[in-house]
Amino acid sequence: MLSIQLTRSVNSGPLYKQIYQALKQQILEGILAEHDQLPSKRELADYLHVSMNSVISAYQQLIAEGYVYTKERRGYFVEALDAFIAVPEEEIFPEELIEKRSPAYLFSFSHMNADASLFPFRAWQHCEQQALRHYAASLDNLEHPQGQWLLREEIARTIGRTRGVRCRPEQIVLGASTQWLFDLLAMICDKHALFAVEHPGYQRIYQQLHASGRPVLPITVDYKGMSPQELEESGASIAVVTPSHQMPTGLIMPVSRRIQLLNWSYKEEGRYIVEDDYDAEFKYEGDPIPALHSLDDLKRVIYVGTFSKSLLPGLRLSYMVLPPALLAVYKHHASHLMQTSSSLIQLALYVFIKSGEYQKHIKRMSKHYKTIRAELIEALHDKFGSSISITGEKAGLHFLMEINTPRPTGAILEKAKEHRLELYGMDRFWLKETTPAEGRPVIIIGFARLRSQDIASAVSLLHHCCFDKA
C-alpha cells in the first residue's frame, strides 16, 4: 500500500490537500510509475482512516490537473508523464535580486517629490466617493484607450486657462507615467526620426527613448536652453525640452529661444518639439509663463503634463496633447494599446478639478513651496556663507547649488547616504558619454518634501556632508 503521512493539526491544512500533495509528489518523483493503479476510494479511505470525501476530493483534483486518469469501472491510474530534462541542484534566488528595504531617509532633497502631508486627502476621498456614486457602472468595461472623456475635457479646460494650451479633449492621451507616454510617442513618430534631448537633462526620458531602439542625441543646454545650432546640425527631428523650468538647471527658457526652437521645427516637415511641462504650476516671482505650446500656431508642439508634481507622484497620472497630424497616426497605429492609468483615479480627479479643489490645492501649495524655498535658501546662505551659489530657483520644486569645497560630488553623495540624507548630484543628468571635467560639485536641491521645522537640521547635515571630516 501507499505510504502517506497525514498530520491532523490545525496548521497542516485539510486532509484531502495532504493526500493530494503526497500522491502528486510520488507521481512526479516516479515512485508511482505510469499506468500504476491507485487504490480505490474506499480502500484508501479505510487505510488512511479518513472519510471517503477526503479521498474523492484529492482524486478529483489530481484528475483535473492531469496526474491521474480513470478507466470506466476499473479505477484510477497514474498518467504517463515525461520526466523533466533538467532539475535544479538547489533552490537559489540570486542575492542581487533580493530587495533590500533601504532605511528611511531622515530628510530628502530629491527632485521627484511632492508633499503628501499637505494633500487634501479628505477632499480627495469625497471626490472618489462622488466618482463611485456616479460612475461605478462605467468601471465594468474597458475604458477609452485615451482615458476618461470627462477628465480629458477638464484637463483641456484647465491647461487652456493656466498654460495657454489650446486643445480639444480628443487630442489628449492619458497615461500612468510620462515615461509611458514617451514610449507611445516613440511608437507613433516616424521610424527614422531621431530624438534630441537636453544635456544635461532628465535621464529617465533619455533612457526610455534609448530603450525604444533608436539613437537619442543629447544637445547642449546653454544659458537660454537647448542650443538651436547644435540641434540643427544633429539631424534630429524631435526635440524634447523643459522650457518652464529646465531639468535639472532650473533655467526658464526666454521667449527668444522659444521662437528659435519653433522656427527650427517649422523648417522641415515632420519636425516636432515635445514640451515636458512637469512642474510649471509653481512659479514664484511674477506671473506664470505660458507654455511654449501657446506660441505655436503650426501645431508642431506636443505638450506633456503630469499630476506627479502638482498633486502626488503616487497617483500615477500624466497626459500628452497630440497635434492633429500625430493624433491621426496614434489612432491608426497605437490605439489598440489600452489605457494604463486607473479609471477610478481619473474620475476622482475629474471631480477634484471640476469642484475647484485642484485649483485651491495648487494655490495653497504655491504659497507653501514659496515659503519653504525662501526659508531653505536663507538657511543655506546662513550656513554655507559665500561657499555656495544657487541657480534655477525662480520656479518649480528644485534648484541647483554649486559648492566651493575640495570634496568631490561622489564623496558628498556617499556621505549623504551614510547619514540617511537623500541627495543627488549633477552627474545623473549628464547624458553624453563625455561628461565635462568636474569643476566644483553641483548638487540638485529638491525641497517639495522638506518641512519647515526640519530645514535647519537638514541644512546642517548637508553642510556636514560637504565639509566635515568625520
Ligand X SMILES: *Cc1c(COP(=O)(O)O)cnc(C)c1O
Is 113 a binder of ligand X (CB under 6 A)? no
Is 112 a binder of ligand X (CB under 6 A)? yes
Burial class (CB in 10 A: 0-12, 13-18, 19+), 187: middle
Burial class (CB in 10 A: 0-12, 13-18, 19+), 12: exposed
Is 199 a binder of ligand X (CB under 6 A)? no
Distance of CA 63 to the CA centre of its chain: 44
Q: Shortest distance, CB of residue 459 to ligand X, whole angstroms?
A: 23
Is 179 a binder of ligand X (CB under 6 A)? yes
Is 208 a binder of ligand X (CB under 6 A)? no
Which residues, at least 6 apart from 3, have a Cβ–Cβ distance to it below 8 Å? none
Residue 62 or residue 159: which is nearer to ligand X going by CB? 159
For residues 249 and 222, is the Cβ–Cβ distance under 8 A? no
Q: Shortest distance, CB of residue 398 to ligand X, whole angstroms?
A: 8
From residue 61 to residue 100, the character string flagging contacts with ligand X as x (rule: CB under 6 A) and all else as - is ----------------------------------------
| C-alpha–C-alpha distance, residues 371 and 377, integer Å | 10
Q: What is the 3-state secondary structure (H, E, C) of 7-74?
A: CCCHHHCCHHHHHHHHHHHHHHCCCCCCCCECCCHHHHHHHHCCCHHHHHHHHHHHHHHCCEEEECCC
Which residues, at least 6 apart from 39, have a Cβ–Cβ distance to it below 8 Å? 1, 2, 47
Residue 178 or residue 339: which is nearer to ligand X going by CB? 178
Q: 462 — phi, psi (to 5°)?
A: -60, -40
Is 308 a binder of ligand X (CB under 6 A)? yes
Which grid coordinates belong to 228?
538651436
Residue 278 or residue 430: which is nearer to ligand X going by CB? 278
Residue 56 or residue 112: which is nearer to ligand X going by CB? 112
Is 202 a binder of ligand X (CB under 6 A)? yes
Q: Shortest distance, CB of residue 317 to ligand X, whole angstroms?
A: 8
Residue 200 or residue 441: which is nearer to ligand X going by CB? 200
Burial class (CB in 10 A: 0-12, 13-18, 19+), 312: middle
Beta bridge partners of 425: 443
Is 178 a binder of ligand X (CB under 6 A)? yes
Q: Which of 25, 15, 17, 11 is nearest to 49 (CA)?
A: 15
Return the range that interacts with ligand X (CB under 6 A); candidates 146-154, 158-166, 263-271, 305-313: 305-313
Residue 249 or residue 306: which is nearer to ligand X going by CB? 306
From residue 265 to residue 304, the character string flagging contacts with ligand X as x (rule: CB under 6 A) and all else as - is -----------x-x--------------------------
Q: Shortest distance, CB of residue 182 to ligand X, whole angstroms?
A: 9
Residue 265 or residue 306: which is nearer to ligand X going by CB? 306
Q: Total binding residues for ligand X by CB under 6 A?
A: 14
Residue 148 or residue 306: which is nearer to ligand X going by CB? 306
Q: Shortest distance, CB of residue 2 to ligand X, whole angstroms?
A: 57
Residue 62 or residue 172: which is nearer to ligand X going by CB? 172
Is 177 a binder of ligand X (CB under 6 A)? yes
Is 313 a binder of ligand X (CB under 6 A)? yes
Among positions 19, 186, 189, 247, the unique one binding ligand X when judged by CB under 6 A: 247
Q: Shortest distance, CB of residue 111 to ligand X, whole angstroms?
A: 6
Is 242 a binder of ligand X (CB under 6 A)? yes
Q: Which of 29, 16, 31 is nearest to 64 (CA)?
A: 16
Applying CB under 6 A, the residues found at the interface with ligand X are 112, 177-179, 202, 242, 247, 276, 278, 306, 308-309, 313, 318
